[in-house]
Chain A
């Protein structure tokens, strides 16, 4: 467990790191015209690719080789995706998927 000062230091580091990612483009390119075309191209493509990265990121700790072989995750993600494609209701998809996952990891696997 961290001391209060250490916890505050971690929070400060997280805040500074986040601020750097948000302010850097505006520091590098003070006006939109000063950004090269390649940067505009990346600006269009990267937000989509970044969400894919976050999807993979949330599965990073699954152990496929050990029981339960990621089954709770696979089942719950299938439920989220299926429900979302069917009903297009963000909160319903997330709420049901999370509840299902909690039931699976607490009572079944």
Chain B
């Protein structure tokens, strides 16, 4: 147990930005959910078993529209297809993590991914326990934020219309952070261009999968010319 608590102490400082962000977004998610009639216990459930921020926001509309599990499944796959990319980037790092590996894979959200890409535990801390602590802390922030939002949502007296812009702002900020961190802007530009073209051709409801195919095709075509690859794991 001492080993694990040491790992949590070492992991905590790395997760502070996520703590503030997830309490903020989690609360926004909880407020939105409760405004559509889904109380804190629903939020506890979705944040525990789905644990994918963008999909959970989109999921609110799936929970309030006509019952269509097939469409929900397609949305879940396409919106989260980027996890395939994270998984591929993490193959090496997660090998040999033993018992905690299934949880690390399950809980690999954007933020946990980016922390585990760069952060290394101190020498006296077990690497597996450290990675587990980062993932578990981040998920607990998300769950706590959501439940807080679910509890205070019904008490809010101001108009929350437009609060879903929080996700747009979040993606724009991540985009700028990545732009700064990478010298090679080609993948970011390919992503923007291919997605915009797919949106124009296929429309708002069906463009994600064509956009992903187009991105992979462009990356394949330009593989030789892309030169220096962006810094990832």
Contact = CB atoms under 8 A, between A and B. Distances in A.
Interface in B64-99: 64, 67, 69, 72-73, 75-77, 79-92, 94-95
B10 interface: no
B20 A10 contact: no
Interface in A79-99: 80-81, 84-85, 90-91, 93-95, 97-98
Central interface residue in A6, A52, A57, A58, by most chain B CB within 10 Å: A52
A15 B165 contact: no
Contacts of B92: 32
Contacts of A101: 162, 165, 168-169
B50 A14 contact: yes
Contact of A80 (B46, B173, B220): B173
25 contacts: A7-B42, A13-B72, A14-B55, A14-B76, A16-B76, A22-B83, A32-B92, A41-B219, A43-B232, A50-B81, A51-B175, A51-B191, A53-B191, A54-B54, A55-B195, A56-B191, A56-B196, A56-B199, A60-B204, A73-B168, A77-B172, A90-B177, A97-B172, A101-B168, A102-B161
Q: What secondary structure prevails in chain B residues at the interface with A?
A: helix
B24 interface: yes
A15 B75 CA distance: 12
A42 B85 contact: yes
Interface in B136-181: 159-163, 165-178
A44 B229 contact: yes
The interface size bin for chain A is 35 or more
B19 to A, nearest CB: 11
Given A14-B72, A17-B76, A41-B229, A48 B166 contact: no
Contacts of A35: 88, 91
Given A17-B72, A90-B21, 20 more contacts: A10-B59, A10-B62, A10-B72, A17-B77, A23-B105, A23-B106, A35-B91, A43-B88, A43-B232, A44-B89, A44-B232, A46-B88, A49-B215, A57-B195, A91-B24, A95-B24, A97-B165, A101-B168, A102-B163, A106-B159
A29 B50 contact: no
Contacts of A102: 159-163, 165
Contacts of B125: none
A24 interface: yes
A66 B57 CA distance: 25
Nearest to A11: B46
Given A2-B63, A91-B24, A43 B89 contact: yes
Interface in B172-198: 172-178, 182, 187-192, 194-196
Contacts of B38: 7
B230 A56 contact: no
Contact of B219 (A32, A40, A45, A84): A45
Contacts of B182: 48
A33 to B, nearest CB: 9
B100 interface: no
